[in-house]
Amino acid sequence: MITQRAYAVEPWTVREHSLDLGVLAQSESVFALSNGHVGWRGNLDEGEPHGLPGSYLNGVYELHPLPYAEAGYGYPESGQTVIDVTNGKVLRLLVDDEPFDLRYGRLVRHERTLDLRRGVLERVCEWSSPAGSTVRVRSTRLVSLTQRAIAAVTYEVEPVDRRTRVVVQSELVANESLPGPDGDPRAARALKSPLEPEEDLAEGHRLRLVHRTRRSGLRVAVAADHVVDGPERTTTACESNVDVARLTVTSVLEPGQRLRVEKLVAHGWSGARSRPAMSDQVEAALAAAAHSGWQGLLDEQRAYLDDFWARADVEVDGDEEIQQAVRFALFHVLQAGARAEGRAIPAKGLTGSGYDGHAFWDTEVFVLPLLVCTVPGAAAEALRWRQSTLPAARERAAQLGLRGAAFPWRTIEGSEGSAYWPAGTAAFHVNADIADAVVRYVQATGDERFEHDTGVELLVETARLWRSLGHHDGRGAFHIDGVTGPDEYSAVADDNTYTNLMARANLLAAADACKRHPDRAAELGVDEEESAGWRDAAEAVHIPYNDELGVHEQHAGFTRYQRWDFAGTRPEQYPLMLHFPYFDLYRKQVVKQADLVLAMHTCAGWFEELFDEEQIARNFAYYEPLTVRDSSLSACVQAVLAARTGHLELAHAYTAEAALMDLADLEHNTRDGLHIASLAGTWTALVAGFGGMRWDDGGLRFTPRLPPRLRRLAFTLRFLGRCLRVEITADRAAYTLRSGPPLTIRHHGTELTVREDVPVEHPVPPPRPRPAPEQPPHRAPHPH
């Protein structure tokens, strides 16, 4: 899978022992720090060299024209792209008047460590300048999980062998030069220097810049304060202009002496607040951070993470790589959503500018299940953000001639940002994905206020879309035609099974929620006739099935398509969409990512009459040889279904692929940012795959089984106000309630009641032997 480890395999850290400038961009993503509001890529402190500079504020974007060879009705006119906001992490260093630049001189030592328990990035390096002066540099960086606007860094310099003059330049930098967007020169022009200056200040140790985006009209303020500790005659000076504010610290150091700079950086943005208000906002955030001080911020970060790990950790005995990777995954998913608070969780989090910083359906299907079970408040906030975008979704539905809301395929602020209409227009399943996340959140938390205030409205408006999008045929069956499901190698197809099943669940959930909350239903104009119409459509939804093969069809007619010529496809021709026309992909049996298999994962609990264990096994065996996994969203789902059907070693391989997507850069695009959904899928593969965890109207259930290599799997999750610990070995599973009233669960169909601090153990039955499914040539999971 990887010929050389980029990072040491350790249970609680990701450690880089040397600096490889050839993969600098990838490491910047891996070492990124965020809290869901502020994101700092793991760039070197000095700013250069870099792969992709990145300082992000969730929700800050710029508009740019979308390219069309031939425009059409309903095509979005402009796209949104995340921009690099004012960079506050830069601390440039001069050693005896020579820039500290690792491309020159001699690098003696360089080590960076992402500490997952403390939530900090640490760096130690020794460097000899071309003139022979050697210095040791230490830095520690954090983005606060407790003080939403704050990021901070300490930077220490000491000479190794002789008296040395050092200069540290701490900067705020706006409109940094960045690589342009690929493929569209108009977008590149629109995004060049997107921040217009409004205010710059440098006073004492304090810096501040305020800018406004040229087209989207968002105001961004960033301010910094410093504590400087050095020997006598250490001096400081400050200056500012429209795009740079700088504090310069100068000192002469003897061996054994250190110059230390602590830098606190506050961030804020708004589409409505005035310039003075934004300046005041970041100054207030700085004052609060200064009150805590550097050590206080460290202590707060550790306390926050101690609490998180106590209720979210996953322990894996027998596979050190997956143990490290799942904690890395949990940490980064937490960072993506912890303090997003009213904003989206982008597909890359705030680790890079991949996908233009957009949020997709990935959030609801892959990320929110993890957050619901570990940080449920963050999941609720992500859904409240969806509710806040309902005006744009209603407008989009009306533009398409539909009722209710049509949520976007990809977006930052709520309007559709896709120029590719088979997805941007036809991938309506995102509506049902949001509805499913609402239902699962309420089931797992019992949060009735959320359901009343947020959930009902989302369920109603999504149900209205399905009722107007679909139609009853002459025999009464309800069809949803011309849609694109999760698999992007099939588009504009009739009766996609995933879409239809999720729409069916959406319609029923909306009707049930309106019955529980009649006052809210009345506010939204729902009457008994409309609710009954939802139930009628749901009960009549058509689910394509091939009786001859005994399998469900991905969409109507899929199984009669010609199979893709897998034998004639060379290894270097994957991913297929980069080497073959979509026209050819759309009319063949080839699957980019789990679709029908995803339906069995998400919908099996709702519709057990369709998916008994034998049917699931037949479906999985049929689609496995067709699925090429040209998407990072597939391996984790295939892991769950492989485990459920007894193919435990295959499930282990798929789990490793999801887990190591970024640590091993399996898709060669980690440079653009981490795959947050695949990271979340690592948790899903372990907890829902080997742990067999599912929940629905019937409560929480487990069907655990471990692959041969794993000796033990243990995890903790929150459910209905309880904290439940699950520990699985080869032949037994133990359930312990750490807090909360007794909880009734199911273990391989047997009902159990678990009480606080009283473990309940049950045997784990062996899986039923089945023939091993095949994968397409060259597309078996990466060896592990």
**Residues in a beta bridge with 142:** 152
Q: Of 287, 420, 275, 430, nearest to 356 (Cα)?
A: 420
Q: How far is residue 163 CA from its own chain's centroid?
A: 47
Taking a C-beta distance cutoff of 8 angstroms, is the pair 663, 30 a contact? yes
Q: Label residue 396 exposed, middle or buried (CB < 10 Å: 0-12, 13-18, 19+).
A: buried
Report the distance separating Cα 780 and Cα 629, nearest Å: 9
Residues in contact with 612: Cβ distance below 8 Å, sequence separation at least 6, in sequence order: none
How is residue 468 written in tokens? 């107007």
Task: Classify 588 as helix, strand or coil.
Answer: strand
Report the alpha-carbon distance of residue 368 to residue 380 in Å, rounded. Answer: 9
Pairing outcome for strands 61-65 and 78-82 = antiparallel
- In three-state secondary structure terms, 107 is strand
Q: Which runs of consecutive H residues, i.e. helices, occur in 517-608?
A: 518-523, 528-540, 582-586, 596-603
In eight-state DSSP terms, residue 554 is: S
Rg over CA atoms, the chain: 27
> How many whole angstroms separate alpha carbon 127 and alpha carbon 110?
9
Amino acid at 71: A
Within 8 A by CB and 6+ apart from 386, the residues are: 407, 434, 458
- How many alpha carbons fall within 13 Å on the CB side of residue 104? 12
Which residue, 314, 337, 288, 221, is CA-closest to 688? 314
Q: Which two tokens stand for residue 683?
A: 């948790």
Out of 46, 171, 416, 488, the active site residue is 488
Please, are residues 136 and 124 in contact by the beta-carbon 8 Å criterion? yes
Q: Of how many residues is the chain composed?
A: 784
| 156: annotated active-site residue | no
Rounded distance between C-alpha atoms, residue 578 and residue 595, angstroms = 20
What positions carry a catalytic annotation? 488
